[in-house]
A and B are shown apart, each in its own frame.
Chain A
Amino acid sequence: MSGTLGGRLLSLARRPMRAWRHSLLFRTVVIAAGATTVAIVIGTVWATLAIQSDLFDARKDQVLAETKRAVDFTQTSVNQQPTATDRAAIQQLGNSMLRNLAASSSTDLILGFPIAEVSTPDIPSAFNIYNIPLAEPMLTDGLREQVRTRPETQWYQSIALPGVDNRPVPGIVVGQQLEMPNVGFYEVYLAYPLDDVAETVRFVQGALWAMGLALVVIVGGIVWLVMRSIATPVSDVSRASARLAAGDLSARLEVTGENELATLARAFNRMADSLENQIRELAELSLVQQRFVSDVSHELRTPLTTIRLAAGVLHGEREGFDPITARSAELLYDQVARFEVLLADLLEISRYDAGSVELSLEEISMSDVAEQVAEALRQVAWEHDTELHFTGAVGDDVIPMDPRRVRRILRNLVGNAIEHGEEHPIDITVAQNETAVAVGVRDRGLGMRPEHAARVFDRFWRADPSRKRTLGGSGLGLAIALGDAKLHGGTIEVWSELGVGTHFVVTLPRGEQTIIEPPIRLEPLERIAPADGSAAGSSTRETLVVMHEPEDDA
C-alpha cells in the first residue's frame, strides 16, 4: 500500500520534472514567475522597511515637538503660580503640573519622578495618572540617567507598551526635566503608543504583498501567453514535420502575417514543396522506368512469336537436315523457349514493380495444390533420379489463395530442389495451424553458405556462376516466388547449410490473420548426412513416393 502511495507521490513529483524537461512553455513560465517573485520579495521588504522608518521618524518628530510643547506649557504655568511654601501647596502644584501635562499633550501615559539630588525633601513623590499601562520598570536606567544628568535636552527611546490582551504595542517614550520653582526638579516621561503607525505599516505591507502576488500571476500569465504564441507555431511545425516524415507529402503550415514565425512556416512549406517535387519526380522516373520495361517486354513478344514459330518449323523439319543444321535448329528451338521464359519472368517482375498485380483468390487445400505440383514434376524428378516424398497436412489446410501463383511458387521451389538436390530424396511437407498454412521443400544437396542463402531471392543472382543449369531458369524464379508469397501476405524463408541441404518454407496466412507461429520450423529437426539421404523422410503420414517411370507425356 505504502509502495503504491510512494509510487504515486513519485509520479506526481515526476510530472513537473517531465514538464520541465519537455515543455519550453512550462519552463519559461516557471522561470519568469520565480524571478518575479524574488524581485517582488526584495522590493516589498525594502519598501516596507523604508516606509516604516519614514513613518516612525515623522511620528517621532511630532511626538518630540508635542512633548516639548506640553512640558514648556506646564513649566510656564507652574512658573506663574505663586511660590508654594507649605507641603499642601506643593502637593497641589504637583497635581496641577500633571493636569497641565495631560491637558496639553495627546497622551495619558505620563510619569513623573522627583530628582532627589537637586530637590528639597519637600518635593512631592512620583506622580502619574491612575491605571495607565506605563510603569517605572519599563523605563531603562540609561534613559533615566540621561534625563537626570542633562536637563537641557529631550531624550527618547522605543518602548513596547502593553496593549489589548497584553500584546505589546510599539511606542515611544520621551523624557525631559520639569522644574518646580524653589522645590526641585522632576523628570517627566510621556509615552505615545505608535499602533497607528504599525497599523499603517501593516496595511501598506499587506497591500504590497497582494500587489506582488498579483504581479507574479500576471507576469506568469503574460509569459504564458507570449510563449504560447511562439510555442504553438513551433509545435505546429514539429507536427507537420512528423507528418512529412511519415510520408504525407501534402503536410503544409498555415502562414499568417509577416513575422519570424511566418517566415519559418514559409521556409518549411518551401522545403516540403521541394521535397514533394523531388519525390514526385523520382516516382515518375521510376514509373517511366517500369513502363519502359513493360513496353519493351511487350514489344519483344511479337517478333519473339515469329521467331518461335520459325524455330518450331525448323525444329519439326530437323530430321531432314544435315547434323550441323539439325543441331542448330535444336539449339535455336531450346534457346527461344528459354528466352520466352526469361521474358515472361521479366514481365511478371515489372508487374510487381508497378504494383499492378491482383490476386484471384479461391478457397483451396494447400495439400492438394502441393501434391499436384509434385505430381506434375515427377517426370523431371525421374530424369534426375530423385525421389519426391510428399506429406500432406493433417486437418484443415484450405486457405484463400491464387492457385496459379501458389503453384508457381511450389513448382519453382521443387524444381530448384530437384536441380540442386544431388539425387537425394526431397521432402515436400504441408502443415497448418490456426493462423497459417505452410509448405516446406527440403533437399539434401550441396546446400549454400549463409551469405549466399541470404541472397537467393535477389534478381538474377546465382550462387555459383559456373554451376550447371539443367532446368534453365531465368534467374528471376525465386524473386517472383517471394513476390507471389508476399502478395498473399505470406513469406518464404530459407535455411541452408553447406553439405547438408536446403530447406525452403512458404508460409501463407489464413485470410487476413497475422501469422503468430509458423506451422513448419525453418530449421529441419533431423540433419541427415547427405550420403544417408535414403533413410530420411520416411514419413508417418500420407506419403507419396514418386519414383516410377512416368507415362508418355501427352
Chain B
Amino acid sequence: MVDDDTALAEMIGIVLTGDGFETSFCADGALAIDAWRVQKPDLVLLDLMLPGKDGIAICREIREESGVPIIMLTARSDTTDVVSGLEAGADDYMVKPFNPKELVARIRTRLRPLSPEGGKTLRVADVEIDVVAHEVRRGGETIALTPLEFELLVALASKPQQVFTREQLLEQVWGYHYKADTRLVNVHVQRLRSKVELDPDNPRVVMTVRGVGYRAGATA
C-alpha cells in the first residue's frame, strides 16, 4: 500500500487485515520500488499523487519488472491521470472516497485464481494460449503478459465466435457488476495488442467490432 496519507493507509490496513489480508505500507514514492522489491507483495495499492515520485512513474517501473496486479487510488476521476495511470500498466483504479466492500471486491478479483474454461490450450490467429501454464506463445516464442492481460485474452479466446461488449468484459475480467469506466477496457486492449499483435495498427488477434466491442481473431 503506497500512500502518503498515513491515516488513510492505516485505515485501509485495518479494513484489509479484517478481511484476512496482510499489508505493508510505504508513504514515500521514492522508496516505493525498493519496498516493493523487498516485500514482493501479491498486489500493489498505489496512490497517484505521492511525494518523491508520482504513482504513474512507480507503476511504469514495476511493470518493467513484473505483472503484479496494481490498483491505483485517485482523488480525481475526470483528469487524464486515470488514463495515463492505466496506460502505465495499472490494472484497475478506485476513486476516493471508495466503499470498503468495493475495495475488497476489487482486490479479490485481481487475486482470484484463473479458472480454466474449455480446453487447456486455446488458439487465436497465430497465437497459442496455454491456460494452465499461463503462457502465450507465437511460434516457439513466449509472450510475457500480465495476469490481467492474460485473463482478457483468455476471456476473448475461450468464446471465439462471441462478440464481447466492453461492459461484458468489465464484468468478466474486472468483476464490475454495474456500469463502469469503459476506458479500462480500451486501454488494456491497446496494451494487450501492443504485446500480442505483430502490427498493433492492423490487429489480427483482438479484433474491434465497430459499435459493439471486441472479439478474438479467427484461428490461423
Contact = CB atoms under 8 A, between A and B. Distances in A.
Given A312-B100, A404-B179, A302 B75 contact: yes
A305 B8 contact: yes
Contacts of A85: none
Contact of B97 (A304, A351, A404, A554): A304
A276 B101 CA distance: 52
A301 interface: yes
A363 to B, nearest CB: 8
Interface stretch (B11-19, B62-70, B115-123, B135-143): B11-19
Contacts of A306: 5, 7-8, 11
Interface string A290-334: 000000001101111111111011000000000000000000000
B97 A313 contact: no
B100 A301 contact: no
A273 interface: no
Contact of A356 (B7, B14, B78, B100): B78
- Which of A299, A309, A554 is the most central at the interface, judged by chain B CB atoms within 10 Å of its CB? A309
Contacts of B78: 351, 356
A409 to B, nearest CB: 15
Contacts of A304: 96-97
A352 B47 CA distance: 26
Interface residues of B, number: 19
A302 B98 CA distance: 10
A436 to B, nearest CB: 23
Contact-residue bracket for chain A = 20 to 34
Nearest to A363: B211
B18 A313 contact: yes
A301 B75 contact: yes
B159 interface: no
B76 interface: yes
A313 B75 CA distance: 21
A98 to B, nearest CB: 127
Contact of A302 (B8, B99, B177): B8
Given A301-B96, A301-B97, A303-B7, A309 B14 contact: yes
A375 interface: no
Nearest to B13: A309
A304 B100 CA distance: 12
A340 interface: yes
A313 B5 contact: no
Given A298-B75, A404-B179, A305 B96 contact: yes
Interface of B: 5, 7-8, 11-12, 14-15, 18, 75-76, 78, 96-101, 177, 179
Given A304-B97, A313-B14, A356-B78, 10 more contacts: A301-B75, A302-B5, A302-B75, A303-B7, A305-B8, A305-B96, A306-B7, A309-B8, A312-B99, A312-B100
